[in-house]
Amino acid sequence: MQSVEGRVAVVTGAAAGMGLGMVRAFAGAGMRVVAADVRAEPLDDAVAALRADGHEVIGVPTDVSQLSSVEALAAATIDAFGAVHVLCNNAGVGMFAPISRTSIDDWEWVLGIDLWGPIYGIKVFLPLLEEQDEGHINSTSSVAGLVAGGAAGPYNVAKHGVVALMATLERELRAAKSPVRTSVLCPGAVNTEISRNSMENRRARRGPTSARSTEGEKLGDKMAQALAGGMEPDDVGHLVLDAVLNDQFWIFTEPRLLRHLQQQVDVMVNEHALSRLRLV
């Protein structure tokens, strides 16, 4: 996009973490922003702080795992601002346990938010974006969307799906000469509280996960420690803004982690085996 000033952005999972970082980056660049999150109180607090700084931001409580909720988000956006130019499908959750200990309900919960959320977002918002002279859809995946470690089956599957979803969409839009471009965010460690927020979200809406295990809890602890030392969410927000402005498809917070992907490809070709992987 040549410029974002005065344009309208919608960000899901916007009450904290990377989503809030995106909202701050977009608002700081002069955009009008619709911040969406399933957690109403933190969302209200984030919106109030942004408005106090003079930014034009509204909050819309949204459950991205429900198509009707995403449709309501789109309606609220059009009612408030009359158009939408940028969509960031960022809402996400994570859990850590071996696949053997992961229930169908756990699978449905993670996939409903992490994969169906972006699918619903694209389905609902793409026609609105194509009404504009230019637009952009970003979805949050992960390094786990490129290489799959253990004890995070639903998260890995969802994030691989997001990469495939966005790559497919980008190719289709280019073939159709659409004014809409796309990008996929594949972060490594980012200083967020996704693990704690995920479990709170789970308990509040579907009860506690049935997939708790010693292995999963140890991995979760290691992941939390790694996240605490990761990139700041506001810096991630600016990476996404830069990708929107410069039509960049891939967004990485830690390009060095791509060595794991290269290793996996090398072993795949040379040994027909699966490479060992240690992301944390």
Q: State which CATH number among 1.10.3720.10, 3.40.50.720, 3.90.1150.180, 3.30.70.100 fits the domain covering 8-271.
A: 3.40.50.720
Task: Give the count of beta carbons closer than 10 Å to the beta carbon of residue 156.
Answer: 22
Residue 224 confidence (pLDDT): 65
Tokens of 155: 């998260």
What are 217's two structure tokens? 């809890």
* Rounded Cα distance, 27 and 200, in Å: 28
DSSP for the chain, written as a single string: ----TT-EEEEES-SSHHHHHHHHHHHHTT-EEEEEES-HHHHHHHHHHHHHTT--EEEEE--TTSHHHHHHHHHHHHHHHS---EEEE-------B-GGG--HHHHHHHHHHHTHHHHHHHHHHHHHHTTSSSEEEEEE--GGGTS--SSBHHHHHHHHHHHHHHHHHHHHHHHTT-SEEEEEEE---BS--HHHHHHHHHHHHH-S-S---HHHHHHHHHHHHHHHTSB-HHHHHHHHHHHHHHT-SEEES-GGGHHHHHHHHHHHHHHSSPPP----
Name the residue with tokens 């992941």.
223
pLDDT tens for the chain, 280 residues long, are 999 999 999 999 999 999 999 999 999 999 999 999 999 999 999 999 999 999 999 999 999 999 999 999 999 999 999 999 999 999 999 988 999 999 999 999 999 999 999 999 999 999 999 999 999 999 999 999 999 999 999 999 999 999 999 999 999 999 999 999 999 999 999 999 876 777 677 667 677 766 555 655 666 666 667 667 899 999 999 999 999 999 999 999 999 999 999 999 999 999 999 987 665 5
Helices 194-206 & 214-228, crossing angle to 10 degrees? 130
pLDDT (tens digit, 9 = 90+) per residue, 71-103? 999 999 999 999 999 999 999 999 889 999 999
Instruction: Please choose, from the candidates 127, 126, 253, 111, the residue with its C-alpha nearest in 3D space to the C-alpha of residue 182.
Output: 126
